[in-house]
Structure 1
Amino acid sequence: MSTPTPLSPGTPPTTTESAPDDGALGWLRALGPRGRRAFAGAFGGYALDSYDYFTLPLSMVALSAYFGLDSGQTGLFTTVTLVVSAVGGALAGVLADRIGRVRALMITVITYAVFTVACGFAPTYETLLVFRALQGLGFGGEWAVGAILVAEYASAKHRGRTLGAVQSSWAIGWALAALVYTLVFSFLGADLAWRVMFWTGALPALLVIWMRRHVRDAPEAAAVRERSAEKGRFTAIFRPGLLRVTVFASLLSTGVQGGYYTLATWVPTYLKGERGLSVVGTGGYLTFLISGAFTGYLTGGHLTDRLGRRRTVWLFALLSALCILAYAHIPAGSDTLLLVLGFPLGFCMSAIFSGFGAYLSELYPTAVRGTGQGFTYNTGRAVGAVFPTTVGFLADSWGVGGALVFGALGYGIAALALLGLPETRGKDLA
């Protein structure tokens, strides 16, 4: 008689001869039916989160012309989004620990969808800035809550690649936004096109309807959370046993996201403004960048299970910094080289994120997992927002391409932060 294989919460019994974690898609089978529905909800939520986020960077040139903005003012859009997202992420994390992962996830999706649509109706720069800030409330919480939901279903063996697959949905949302941008700005005048881009942000409402009917929290993790006296207590992540983790995890998030959002915010402007590419040309270059990102998310997820969380982040922090320096110093007229380097740039700056969902989930106990992950990841977003804003102000004197090198500093901060964090590969979250 065969011996039962250890399973993740919600996975039906099986035997060693038909172990659910065998094969290329074993990580998906190991989730079980309920876990796969949770995966689909988190995957879709993060893809649409990405789509709604990129409606702004892709429309930046049109917005600048419409409202008569300088580089500093346009950079402020990203800053307020990311700063407010820290508040939204912290609140969503506490909610996830108190009312459950799925309910908190639906709240975040509805929030970012409503205020993305509202941006399309903004009559002034100031109004748009306020709506974008409010969009950040939902944007900040979605990833952290969705990642925890899936992490608590995933097996320890496959948690890195499972969360890496969730992370890859960011590239899909980015690609969808780039496609819609190319179509909308090709057929409509720029003054209307940027509004239409924001109006398409209503799509996530359909996902919420499906999630409400089909997605549930992982039973074992939910039971542990309900029994805890510290459930959703914000101060718990600053007590002696967790204070060091909270500080260094926040620094890690700051460095990685400072580098990433510098690129995500300014590469479209760099390609169109300084390289003189058309809308279609910019879309073509972004195709290489985004395809590299998608491949990077999946590859990074596998590596974080094989090499460990810390080694994978160290590797891609170094490679991302080198790619930024190379990309920003391509000689004028070398458009083919610009195109080719877009793939490794997207690959490295995305692969470093693949282990984040697993790593941050494993650093905190079940009762405050949402609180800890929501706070550290989104504090990184808020402080990391200084990077794209600094690039915006430096761009007037250095040029966008020259100022992009500031993003490499973020990856150096991330590498140093790992010195204060433990390796968690293989940890059981139940």
Structure 2
Amino acid sequence: MSTTPPSPTVTPHPPAAEHADASGAFGWLRALGPRGRRAFAGAFGGYALDSYDYFTLPLSMVALAAHFGLDSGRTGLLTTVTLVVSAIGGALAGVVADRIGRVRALMITVVTYAFFTVACGFAPTYETLLAFRALQGLGFGGEWAVGAILVAEYASARHRGRTLGAVQSSWAVGWGLAAIVYTLVFSFCGDDLAWRVMFWTGALPALLVVWVRRRVEDAPEATAARERSAEKGSFTAIFRGPLLRTTVFAGLLSTGVQGGYYTLATWVPTYLKSERGLSVVGTGGYLTFLISGAFLGYLTGGYLTDRLGRRRNIWLFALLSAVCILAYANIPGGADSLLLVLGFPLGFCMSAIFSGFGSYLSELYPTAVRGTGQGFTYNTGRAVGAVFPTTVGFLADGWGVGGALVFGAIGYAIAALALLGLPETRGKELV
């Protein structure tokens, strides 16, 4: 059976959105219509809290290493196992989203990552913590792909890039919230208790699930198109015909971008503390510049992905991100003020590259296997890209964390090459 979607007979967003004023800075939000805006809020909140729960680990790494007596390699393994298992969770969540709907799959992923984040705070041994963190990855891996598809199927082709870029910006919101809570918790609690408290605060997403269950629903037209297909949620479909090429190159694209990103997100806090000797509050100050740049990068990248196209936006920021990594890791000693200033463009570039992912991956696959394709490629990229933080961990013992960070630039080169095998999809309707 063909894996290409049927010719659209209706638009992929509610009729109310057809008449909404789509002009102005927030025209993309008005164009979603009431149901689309509720879906946007649910996806935004879910991804922000996903980010918050993820960053409880990188921000607590120094305390964890001291508590369990870990070297850099075993510490980095905590991140790697999260990302590797997230590939399984993301792939499964994509299939579930195609078979039972986007909203129900979204709730399952949020409950999963929240429960096991809290469980990490009770871990008595390193091995137990490693197991809980792996299970947390099941939910962590699926949330973004499901939430992005939910919103993409409400958004118009004209605004899809900036709409999904706005959803992506919630990652910076969750990251910032985690940094604030980290600063407070580690200021008032001893390190042996503080890292546990950080994980316990990961229960927050449970509140979101209650609201999503009552207020959010799948896009009706996309749901109808998905239900008409006999191959919805089929893994084999994304490896047949023209979709095989798409799946291979989209997986490489995700691997490169996420390899570079997770190298930085995992090791920058440790780099600032262990090699720059910054206090907890000082590290928080540096992260403020990094996170502020990330938030604006997501929004700007979303705008540019609609203006320049999906591929050009990723190419541009792959180059700029690699340049920022090399500059950041080679600042001479004593130039901490320059380190502070450079944090902003670093956060901006390494985040702007992600803004087009939600729209691009959604547009590469037909409705019946959109969740499966996006969930598999994005999270396979997470799993393979997870090798990068662990490699940095092992290299750090000889090169220092700053020197090892350069390895992350290789990821962006892989991403740039992968785009040569993928088409431009700007302006494509999803039904």
**Which TM-score tier does this pair reach, normalised by the shorter chain?**
over 0.9
Matches within 5 A, 1:316-355: 316-355=317-356
Q: Residue type of the partner of 1:184? A: V
| Residue equivalent to 1:10 | 14
CA offset digits 1:313-344 (Å, max 9, x no partner): 00000000000000000001100000000000
8 Å Cα contact 1:11/1:33 also seen in 2: no
Q: Aligned pair in 2 of structure 1 residues 424, 67: CA closer, same or farther (>3 Å)?
A: same
Alpha-carbon separation, structure 1, partners of 2:193 and 2:131: 20
Residue 390 of structure 1: CA displacement? Answer: 0.2
Alpha-carbon separation, structure 2, partners of 1:13 and 1:319: 36
Secondary structure of the corresponding residue to residue 332 of structure 1: coil
| Residue equivalent to 2:213 | 212
Matches within 5 A, 1:269-348: 269-348=270-349
- 1:188 aligned onto 2:189: yes
- 1:35 aligned onto 2:36: yes
Residue 231 of structure 1: CA displacement? Answer: 0.6
- 1:83 aligned onto 2:87: no
Alpha-carbon separation, structure 1, partners of 2:381 and 2:17: 40
Structure 1, gaps ≥5 residues long: 1-5
8 Å Cα contact 2:12/2:430 also seen in 1: no
Matches within 5 A, 1:34-183: 34-183=35-184
| Residue equivalent to 2:199 | 198
Structure 2, gaps ≥5 residues long: 1-9
Residue 63 of structure 1: CA displacement? Answer: 0.1
| Residue equivalent to 2:7 | none
8 Å Cα contact 1:320/1:349 also seen in 2: yes
CA offset digits 1:243-276 (Å, max 9, x no partner): 0000000000000000000000000000001000
Q: Residue type of the partner of 2:51? A: S
Q: Residue type of the partner of 2:402? A: G
TM-score (norm 2): 0.97
8 Å Cα contact 1:108/1:142 also seen in 2: yes
8 Å Cα contact 1:100/1:217 also seen in 2: yes
Secondary structure of the corresponding residue to residue 405 of structure 1: helix
| Residue equivalent to 2:395 | 394
Secondary structure of the corresponding residue to residue 23 of structure 2: coil
Alpha-carbon separation, structure 1, partners of 2:238 and 2:26: 35
8 Å Cα contact 1:11/1:30 also seen in 2: no
| Residue equivalent to 1:257 | 258
Alpha-carbon separation, structure 2, partners of 1:143 and 1:20: 28
8 Å Cα contact 2:318/2:413 also seen in 1: yes
Q: Aligned pair in 2 of structure 1 residues 359, 65: CA closer, same or farther (>3 Å)?
A: same
8 Å Cα contact 2:17/2:32 also seen in 1: no
Alpha-carbon separation, structure 2, partners of 1:246 and 1:410: 18
| Residue equivalent to 1:3 | none
CA offset digits 1:111-153 (Å, max 9, x no partner): 0000000000000000000000000000000000000000000
Alpha-carbon separation, structure 1, partners of 2:312 and 2:303: 12
Alpha-carbon separation, structure 1, partners of 2:201 and 2:17: 43
8 Å Cα contact 2:255/2:411 also seen in 1: yes
| Residue equivalent to 1:406 | 407
Q: Residue type of the partner of 2:13? A: P
CA offset digits 1:92-127 (Å, max 9, x no partner): 000000000000000000000000000000000000
Residue 154 of structure 1: CA displacement? Answer: 0.1
Alpha-carbon separation, structure 1, partners of 2:21 and 2:322: 38
Alpha-carbon separation, structure 1, partners of 2:31 and 2:311: 25
Residue 11 of structure 1: CA displacement? Answer: 4.0
| Residue equivalent to 2:371 | 370
Q: Aligned pair in 2 of structure 1 residues 208, 384: CA closer, same or farther (>3 Å)?
A: same
Alpha-carbon separation, structure 2, partners of 1:71 and 1:14: 54
Alpha-carbon separation, structure 2, partners of 1:273 and 1:11: 55
Secondary structure of the corresponding residue to residue 153 of structure 1: coil
Q: Residue type of the partner of 1:295? A: L
8 Å Cα contact 2:103/2:217 also seen in 1: yes
Q: Aligned pair in 2 of structure 1 residues 13, 138: CA closer, same or farther (>3 Å)?
A: closer
Residue 241 of structure 1: CA displacement? Answer: 1.9
Q: Residue type of the partner of 1:9? A: H
Residue 20 of structure 1: CA displacement? Answer: 2.1
CA offset digits 1:189-241 (Å, max 9, x no partner): 00000000000000000000000000000000000000101111111000012
4+ aligned runs moved over 3 Å, structure 1: none
Give the aligned length: 422
8 Å Cα contact 2:18/2:31 also seen in 1: no
TM-score (norm 1): 0.97
Q: Aligned pair in 2 of structure 1 residues 426, 13: CA closer, same or farther (>3 Å)?
A: closer
Q: CA RMSD in A?
A: 0.9
Alpha-carbon separation, structure 2, partners of 1:141 and 1:362: 18
Alpha-carbon separation, structure 1, partners of 2:17 and 2:265: 43
Alpha-carbon separation, structure 2, partners of 1:29 and 1:7: 16
Secondary structure of the corresponding residue to residue 404 of structure 1: helix
| Residue equivalent to 2:430 | 429
CA offset digits 1:49-92 (Å, max 9, x no partner): 00000000000000000000000000000110000000000000
Q: Aligned pair in 2 of structure 1 residues 137, 13: CA closer, same or farther (>3 Å)?
A: closer
8 Å Cα contact 1:317/1:411 also seen in 2: yes
8 Å Cα contact 1:116/1:202 also seen in 2: yes
